[in-house]
Structure 1
Amino acid sequence: MPDYDPNNIFAKIIRGELPCHKVYEDDRALVFLDIMPRAPGHALVIPKSPARNILDVAPDDLAHVAQIAQRVAKAGMRAFEADGVTVQQFNENAGGQVVFHLHVHVIPRKDGVPMKPAASYKEKPEVLAEQAKKLAAAMPSV
């Protein structure tokens, strides 16, 4: 497996070198909206530790990301009046991974509404800002 690249886009977001539409942050994880969402409220949950994917992440960091993803899923259900939620996580090229920093997609879903194709539409920043605010307000406490 290739080494972790500390200059990947998510590492730059963690360091504050690139902007994001932040939903939640603690000392071990960051949650922000995908700029090419497959549905309204499509969030990404990432560890702050340098993990390429599930194959090299420390087990306790993976557990923390999973716990935060569950909180984001509950918030997305409330904030976007969703009927369900899709949680996705990809590993290496053959597994569909595009950005090589571990990330979990949490996507609120409505019955009968298909997800947009991956990386097909870049959402307007003002829409993402409003959705991030809405999702953050719905986040359950620990």
Structure 2
Amino acid sequence: MPGEPQDDCLFCKIVEGHVPATIVRETPTTVAFRDINPQAPTHVLVIPKAHYANAAVLAAADPALAADLLREAQEVADEDKLESYRVVFNTGTGAGQTVFHVHAHILGGRGLQWPPG
């Protein structure tokens, strides 16, 4: 069920404190932590504490929580003193999504070319 923790979800386990992560921010609705395989000097994932499979499902089910996620992306960028940054949501396996708990990648700290790939 959307919003409910999933026993087999890595990010739900991070939210619950069962899997360690380098947490950089936490709010009542979100958690932000460093990516274990960074693709830029700043590479932080911002996730909702509630489980939603991807950005489209989250936006349809809980627009306020989707806004919280984007607000936290800005807070992460501000804390890392990023003048420019990229927010990426991968949706589906063809786009590279490997953990099916919506997450925003915050990337910055170096030049980011477009298109990314």
TM-score w.r.t. the length of structure 1 is 0.68
What's the CA shift for 1:75?
Answer: 2.1
Match of 2:37 in 1: 36
Q: CA RMSD in A?
A: 1.9
Structure index of larger Rg: 1
Matches within 5 A, 1:68-79: 68-76=72-80, 78=81
Match of 1:103 in 2: 103
Identity of aligned residues (%): 32
Aligned residues: 106
What's the CA shift for 1:110?
Answer: 2.0
Q: Secondary structure at the match of 2:107?
A: strand
Q: Does 1:24 align with 2:28?
A: no
Q: Secondary structure at the match of 1:12?
A: helix
| Structure 1 residue ranges without an equivalent (≥5) | 115-142
Q: Secondary structure at the match of 1:101?
A: coil
| Structure 2 residue ranges without an equivalent (≥5) | none
Q: Secondary structure at the match of 1:56?
A: helix
**Whole-Å Cα distance in 1 between the matches of residues 75 and 22 of structure 2?**
17
What's the CA shift for 1:8?
Answer: 1.1
**Whole-Å Cα distance in 1 between the matches of residues 28 and 50 of structure 2?**
10
Match of 1:60 in 2: 64
**Whole-Å Cα distance in 1 between the matches of residues 34 and 96 of structure 2?**
19
Q: Secondary structure at the match of 1:67?
A: helix
